[in-house]
Amino acid sequence: MKILIAGGGLQGLSCGCSLYKNHEVSVVTSNLMCRKSHFFKKVYSDVKAGDESLFGLLEKEHFDVLIPVSDMTVPFISKHKDVIENRFGVKCAVPDYDQVYQVEDKSRFMAFCEENNVPHPKTARLSEDTLKNTANEVGFPALIKPDYSVGARGITKVNSIAELQEKYPSVSQKYGSCTLQEFIENKEYYFNVMLYRDAHGKFPAYTILKIVRMYPIGAGSSACCITVENDNILQICKDCLDKLNWVGMADFDVLQRLDNGAYKIIEINPRVPASLRAAAISGVNFPEIIANDALGKVILEYKYNPGKVLRYMGIDIMWLMKSPSRFHAKPGWLKFFGKDIFYQDIYKQDPSTWWTWLAEGLGKINGRNKKLR
């Protein structure tokens, strides 16, 4: 099977690792780690997978399945799914756009949850003219949350109407439309749920991550996570996808309230997450499921084996520098090796990830220093 991954980064790298042994995998990306990885037959770094320049590549090269994995490529390929499949003969492994549309805007998805009794935080759309009314509806403390952002960018905690009036304009100017969402006092972790729902309403696989270290601290991306079982969270997420009539991959973020232990869905991403490798090390090959289902092939069964630790050293270092809990972390920050410890950005199967990880890390530090000057 010839598979094209649209979008690189950690999602693309993990997809490549999960597929390269049994398929011919190529990728559209400018990401250094993907460009140097031997997981990919070809790397197209001069093509943008999030606009119509992708069509030129599909005109010249034949692929059996196209799997978008980034926030830019998923909505574009979903919108043009019929055109791409009919014109180029490649199956697009992405939910239909009416489903993507429902979840890509965070405030729209929260409104869906409200209408369909899906557990979620109290949320209301913000505008300059309605700040006070929205604040009265949601209460404080609260979070200003951009409708379109990744990696917790733009999320800003506010404790009063004065803070809201002060901080909202700059967040809105930078990120566009925003909501005000109740701040859920939760434990020092949150959950991520990877779930696949097929066209028959079946769920062939799942993986649940407990994010125990994150950066930015309190509301950021996973620096260290552990795969776990949690039947309550799993059922909530399955019910949500049933109500959406979802077909395809879904990636949930879920918080647990500190006061009563209730679980609240805060968002869905209609793609594989950056922490996709956590599923692979726990026995679940989501990219294989996605590709097989797109072609109407039998979906293989996978035995989920939780208890695996996945670290993302690039941001776990940042967590160490900033966290007051650095010496009390579980699992311990200095525990680098063990049969159940793996890395999101370093692959034993591909030695190139060791030096490209270092190069990318130094590049980020250099870029950050330039911004500070």
Tens-digit pLDDT profile for residues 263-274: 999 999 999 999
Q: Are 184 and 255 in contact (CB under 8 A)?
A: yes
For residue 100, is it within any domain? no
Do residues 275 and 333 share a domain?
Answer: yes
CATH assignment of the domain containing 335: 3.30.470.20
Whole-number Å distance between alpha carbons of 152 and 146: 9
Do residues 299 and 205 share a domain?
Answer: yes
CATH assignment of the domain containing 33: 3.40.50.720
For residue 362, what pLDDT band results from cuts at 50, 70 and 90?
low
pTM: 0.90
Q: Which of 47, 74, 93 is the last residue in one of the domains?
A: 93
Lowest mean pLDDT among 94-98, 191-195, 328-332: 328-332
Do residues 336 and 200 share a domain?
Answer: yes
Whole-number Å distance between alpha carbons of 322 and 111: 35
Do residues 210 and 288 share a domain?
Answer: yes
Question: Quick check: 367 pLDDT over 70?
Answer: no
Do residues 248 and 326 share a domain?
Answer: yes
Give me the pLDDT at residue 284, please.
Answer: 98
Extract the tokens encoding 107. 């405030």
Per-residue model confidence as pLDDT tens digits over 20-49: 999 999 999 999 889 999 999 999 998 988
Extract the tokens encoding 361. 């890390």
Do residues 150 and 285 share a domain?
Answer: no
For residue 98, is it within any domain? no
Q: Are 58 and 84 in contact (CB under 8 A)?
A: yes
Residues in the chain: 373
Do residues 74 and 126 share a domain?
Answer: no
Do residues 211 and 303 share a domain?
Answer: yes
What is the Cβ-side half-sphere exposure of residue 351, based on CA atoms within 13 angstroms?
0
Q: What average pLDDT does the segment 240-267 reach? A: 94
Q: 353 versus 191: which is more confidently predicted?
A: 191
For residue 115, is it within any domain? no
CATH assignment of the domain containing 168: 3.30.1490.20
Alpha helix locations (H) across the chain? 9-19, 32-36, 53-60, 73-79, 81-88, 97-104, 106-115, 131-138, 161-175, 231-244, 277-281, 286-294, 313-322, 352-372
For residue 292, is it within any domain? yes
Give me the pLDDT at residue 80, please.
Answer: 96
Give me the pLDDT at residue 49, please.
Answer: 86
Do residues 176 and 212 share a domain?
Answer: no
For residue 137, is it within any domain? yes
Tell me how many domains the chain contains: 3
Per-residue model confidence as pLDDT tens digits over 106-124: 889 999 999 999 999 999 8
Q: Which of 182, 200, 220 is the last residue in one of the domains?
A: 182
Give me the pLDDT at residue 370, please.
Answer: 42
Do residues 135 and 221 share a domain?
Answer: no
For residue 109, is it within any domain? no
For residue 27, is it within any domain? yes
Task: Domain of residue 320: give its range.
Answer: 190-360
Do residues 135 and 216 share a domain?
Answer: no
Do residues 152 and 201 share a domain?
Answer: no
For residue 60, is it within any domain? yes
Q: Which of 151, 182, 213 is the last residue in one of the domains?
A: 182
